[in-house]
Structure formats: C-alpha cells, structure tokens
Structure 1
Amino acid sequence: MKPLIGITSDLDENGETFLKADYSRAILRAGGLPVVLPAGLEDIDEICDRIDGLLLTGGEDVNPLLFGEEPKHQLGKIAPERDDMEMALAKCAVGKDMPVLGICRGHQILNVALGGTIYQHIYTDLEGPLLQHKQQADRNYPTHTVVVEKGSRLSNYVEGKEVLVNSLHHQAVHDVPKPLVVTGKAKDGIIEALESTEHKFVMSVQWHPEALSNLGDKTSLRLFGGLVEASRKQ
C-alpha cells in the first residue's frame, strides 16, 4: 500500500485551511498518498498513529516565545495555533521514529521542537554580508547554492558537493540540538539543512523543494522519494 503522508497546513485570513498544491503534488509524484492536516490540537495522538510520514511545510514566522525569546521588531506574522499543532506533531512523530521532512518554516519548527533556537531576523541578528535569502525571482527557480556535508543522508540525493536552491525566508536556524546535525550551509554560513543521527529519516531543508520539483529538479524529486520510501510499512 502507498504510505499516508500527513502534510501540515496554514490558515488564511478567514480562518480556512490553506496549502499550496505543490506539496501534495510532490508527495503524489513520489508515490505517496497526501493528507492535509488542518491546524489545531484536536486528536494529535490519533493523527500521529494513523499517518506513515510527516511533512512540515513553509509559512509564517515561528513564535519566538517557543524558544525562550521575546518578539523583536522585525518579526513577521505568526500563527500560534499552527505553531502549537506542528510542535506537538513533530515531537510525536520523532518520538515514534516516523519519517519527517521539514521545509522552510518546517525546518525551523523541527529544530525548535527538539530544543533548538532560530534567528528571528538574520539581517539584524547576524553580522557581516549575507546573501539574498528572500529572493525576487519566481519561487520555482533556484537563486543560490548550498554546500552539502559529505557522507550525510542529504548527500545521497545531491549530485556533487553543492546544490542550487530557492530561498524565501528571513528567519534561520541558530542553535542546533542533538540528535540533529547540520548537513548543508549557504556560502554566507546560514544553516540550510539538518538531519537526525538517531532516526531512520528525520530531515529538514530551508529551501522549497516542492516548488523546484515542478521543473524536474533531481535533488528535490529524490528528497520526496526518500520520505515516501522511508514511510512505507515493512
């Protein structure tokens, strides 16, 4: 049977469930069955029992109160209801050794859920010249490179030592807790990829492979294929 992949969603201005179709399309293309999870804390344990894999998606900023900081002036829109659900789901999934893939905001949520922190606004929190991490190009096109750690799970999906990525963020991972390790960085030092050393498939990336997969990007297709394959019941 095809594995059931739970995909976290956003809320629009009317409080309705919202999700870009690229995420579901990427899971379908990889051979999984996507199910969109509405924001809310109802039945988290049962949801976690029913799904075979978890995809934490992109979206608004992460609430800094979740990692022990007060909000700074540059903090963007937050979604507390979504934060609560994704934190609970991430902890539950990792605790069960369920395959998890975090994307952009999901990359940051996974890090925070396991005890890490993030930069609220990289352009004021960090010193020195930074790349343009909120690109002006269409989201379907890559605009900078990420250097991938040799021997990492991510390196199995990348041809060569670097991968071209798209970039749509102003927050970024800061302190990384065990068992997560850094597996990819932009050339300005921003952490672009994480994975767990203690789980069969717990990974996250700062970019948006679901958008790049629309144009047949091989790394993106392999990444979603890895999630779906790891989620298959033995």
Structure 2
Amino acid sequence: MKPVIGITTDVQQDGENILKNTYVQAVIRAGGLPMIVPVGLEQDVEQLIEMFDGLLLSGGNDINPMLFNEEPHEYLGVVSPSRDSSELELARRMLKTGKPILGICRGLQVLNVAVGGTLYQDLYKQNDSPILQHIQKAPNTHCSHYVQLDKGSLLESIAGSERIQVNSYHHQSLKEVPSDFKVTAVASDGIVEAIESTHEQFVLGVQWHPEALSAAGDAVSLRIFERFISECAN
C-alpha cells in the first residue's frame, strides 16, 4: 500500500482551489498516493488526519500577519484568510500526531507560525543588510542561489552535502523561530531556508521549491521527496 499524502491547495479570490501539478507528480514519483485537500475543511481535520500518512503544505500567498500579532506592513502581499485557518489547523493537529510533514515555501512559514513563530512580512523592507534576489526572474527549474546546510542535520543527510543550489520565489521569510524547530539551512544573506523539528517527528520545511526542481531531475530535490515518502510509509 502506498502512503497517502495530503497536499494543501491554494485558493483564489473567487474561492477556486488550485494546485500546481508539480506537487502531485513529485509525490507520485517518490512512491506516494496524493490526496488533494481543498480549503475549508477545518471541521473535518480529525478524519483527514486519520486518512493521511503524511502532510505536504504547499506554496502560495502571504500569511495574515494578525496571526502572529502584527499589523499589515505596507508591502504585505495578497493574503488568504480561509487558507490560513485551514492550514494552521491541519499543521497544529498533524504536529501532535507524530506523522511526517513537509512544508514548501509558504508551507515552511505555516509550520513556523503554527507553533508561535513570526515572519518578515517583506524581507527586503524589513532587513537593513543587503539581501539576495529571492524572487528569481528565471524559470522555476533554474537554481538561483546557494544554501548552506548544518552539518549533521536531516537535510544535510538527505542532500549529501553542506552546500546546495536552490530556486527562490518568496518575499516573506522566517523571523523568530520557536524552540519546536531548529534552523538547519540559511542563504548567504542570512535568510532562513530550512527548519527541522527538535522532536523525533519527521518535520522538514524548506523555503525553496523542490517539487519544481525535481521535475527537472534535480537529485537533491528528488531525495527530499523520497525521504519524506519513505518516512510516511513507516
């Protein structure tokens, strides 16, 4: 039996749920059975969690800063309140189950906010030091900058290296990271690129998009999904 992986969707202003096929294909390629989760199922979270062997929190719009006790910055982007509430509820409940979770881009940020962390609403306007281009203008299959991984981290063991190349499509980033997580990868400008659980549970959040890179055959990205699915099968 293939492990069942719940994948969260984005939601448009008109309420339409959308999800890029690269997420679905990455899970299938790694041996999982994807189950697309629409927004608005908070009341059914317990039943959903029973069905899932793992959860993939996908990318998308900005997170409402009121959820981490801040008012909106001038450069805050589009927020999706219904998606925020659905995903935060799913993330918090899944974190209590011990089941594996993979957070991608916004998904990394959801994990952080779910346990009391905060975000830079716009990493360019809220940092005084020089910042790399984190919204690349190249195709999403192109790696645009380097990331340094902590030696001995889960991510380093998956990558087989302490330095990898990633793509980049975000203007929000992690600010305060609670003790439930540890930062295990940063860009050369200090922006947080990955977090992992400080508990036994497999929880990995990455700021880039390995689902897009895996479609182009990137070895590290493929191994991220393979390790995630392997953990979900246990």
Give the TM interval when normalised to the shorter protein: over 0.9
CA-CA distance at 1:185 after TM superposition: 0.1
Match for residue 197 of structure 1?
A: 198
Moved over 3 A (4+): none
Task: Write the deviation string for residues 78-130 of structure 1: whole angstroms up to 9, x where unpaired.
Answer: 00000001000000111001100000000000000011111000111111110
1:61-140 map, 5 Å: 61-140=62-141
One-letter amino acid of the counterpart of residue 126, structure 1:
N
Q: Which residue does the alignment assign to 2:172?
A: 171
Residues 14-93 of structure 1 aligned to structure 2 (within 5 Å): 14-40=14-40, 41-93=42-94
Could you say what secondary structure the match of 1:203 adopts?
Answer: strand
Question: Distance between the aligned counterparts of 2:179 and 2:21, measured in 1?
Answer: 33
Partners of 1:107 and 1:179 in 2: CA distance? 13
1:75 partner amino acid: L
Deviation, structure 1 residue 161: 1.5
**Match of 2:160?**
159
The residue type paired with residue 187 of structure 2 is: A
Q: Deviations over 1:63-84 (max 9, x none)?
A: 1011010001100000000000
Q: CA deviation at 1:50?
A: 1.1
Inter-partner Cα distance in structure 2 for 1:63 and 1:11: 14
Per mean C-alpha deviation after superposition, the further-off stretch among 182-191 and 43-52 is: 43-52
Paired amino acid for 1:79: S
Secondary structure in structure 2 of the residue aligned to 1:123? coil
1:215 deviates by 1.0
5+ long unaligned stretches in structure 2: none
In 1, the alpha carbon distance for the partners of 2:61 and 2:86 equals 14
The alignment status of 1:212 with 2:213, answered yes or no, reads yes
SS of residue matched to 2:224: helix
For residues 8 and 148 of structure 1, the distance between their equivalents in structure 2, rounded to whole angstroms, comes to: 27
Partner of 1:12: 12
Deviation at 1:42, TM superposition (A): 3.2
The letter for the 2-side match of 1:173 is L
TM-score by length of 1: 0.98
User: Percentage identity across aligned positions?
Assistant: 48
Secondary structure of the residue aligned to 2:195 is strand
Q: What is the alpha-carbon distance in structure 1 between the residues aligned to residue 180 and residue 223 of structure 2? A: 23
CA RMSD between the two structures: 0.9
Unaligned 5+ runs, structure 1: none
Contact 1:200 1:230 in 2 (8 A): no
| 1:219 counterpart letter in structure 2 | V
Q: Quick one: distance in 2 between partners of 1:14 and 1:67?
A: 26
The number of residues matched between the two structures is 233
Output the amino acid matched with 2:202. Answer: F
